[in-house]
Amino acid sequence: MSVVYINIFLAFTLSFMGLLIYRSHLMSSLLCLEGMMLSLFVMMTVTILANHFTLASMTPIILLVFAACEAALGLSLLVMISSTYGTDYVQNLNLLQC
């Protein structure tokens, strides 16, 4: 594999780690989710452009659309939690209360 792909793959892995390991704020995992999406987008675009795979040129845009939808979902969850507890500390979620 070339250096470019390893670079982007490393970015993806780091964001993935950041999604799973965070300290107190839920917002940081959402941000890492966005980073994952960004790296996937870049990898997909570079692959398609390097291989002249024009038929799949639509795919990054579709990926962006779905990323926007899930970002909205994540933000709405954040808002729900923050309106119930006042902050988005993870230790608030120890009991399933609505």
Contacting positions for another protein (CB under 8 A): 17, 19-22, 26, 29, 90, 93-96, 98
Q: 50 is written with which tokens?
A: 């390097």
Least distance to another protein, CB of residue 1, Å: 15
Quick one: 54 or 97, whose CB is closer to another protein?
97
Least distance to another protein, CB of residue 4, Å: 22
Least distance to another protein, CB of residue 90, Å: 6
SS (H, E, C) 26-82: HHHHHHHHHHHHHHHHHHHHHHHHHHCCHHHCCHHHHHHHHHHHHHHHHHHHHHHHH
